[in-house]
Amino acid sequence: MSAFAEATVLITHEVGLHARPSVKFTKLAKSFAAEVEIALAANGPWFDAKSIVKVMAARAPKGTMLHIRASGDGADDAVRALAELVRRDFDEGAGHARTA
């Protein structure tokens, strides 16, 4: 069983990894036991994906390649689920971007 996993995913959400998406992102990250981190470049700096303060501090706008990595129990699942959330545009329809 792998104790380390990573993935890279393009942020397509209109306003990036911003207030509402970051709430969903950190909530999902916290549901895994593994340590999860994100970065805007392969060589870091890395931010704790379970902390909304840190995720917001990453300042990831639309068009960013988001690097996600995890280590420990369920690392694979965590990375897969989080990358999937970003790909699904955080489950927000086009309607959100319009009111923004």
Partner 1 sequence: MPEPLRLQGISASVGYAEGPLFNLDGGTARYTGKATAGEEKDALEIAITSATDRLATLIESADDEAAGILEFQLAMLQDEALTGPAFAAIRSGMPADMAWRQALDAEIAGYDMSDQDYFRARAADMRDIRDRVLRALTEEQESAAPAGAILYGEDIAPTRFLETDWSGGGGIALKAGSTASHVAMLARSRGVPMIVGLGVVSLGSSPADPDGLALLDAEHGGIVLAPSKAEIETFRRSSSSFAARRDKAEVYLAKPAVTRAGTTVRVQVNIADPSEVDGIDIATCEGVGLMRTEFLFGKAPPDEETQYRAYRKVLEWAGNKPVTIRTVDAGGDKPVPGFTVAESNPFLGLRGIRLSLARPDVFRVQIRALLRAAVHGNLKVMFPMIAVIEEFKRAAALFAEEQTGLIARGIAQKMPPLGIMVEVPSVAIAPEAFLDVAFLSIGSNDLTQYVMAAARDNTAVAHLNSVRHPAVLRLIGSVAAFGLREKIPVSLCGDAGGDPAAISALLEAGLRDLSVAPAQLAMAKAAIADVTV
Q: Is 57 in the site for partner 1 (CB under 8 A)?
A: yes
How far apart are the C-alpha atoms of 49 and 52, rounded to whole Å? 7
How far apart are the C-alpha atoms of 80 and 74, rounded to whole Å? 10
Catalytic residue among 13, 18, 67, 96: 18
Residue 18 annotated as catalytic: yes
Q: How far is CA 69 from CA 2, 14, 15, 92, 93, in A?
A: 12, 23, 23, 24, 27
Q: Is 51 in the site for partner 1 (CB under 8 A)?
A: yes
Q: Is 64 in the site for partner 1 (CB under 8 A)?
A: no
Q: Footprint of partner 1 on this chain (CB under 8 A)? A: 14-16, 18-20, 22-23, 26-27, 48, 51-54, 56-57, 59, 61, 97-100
Catalytic residues: 18
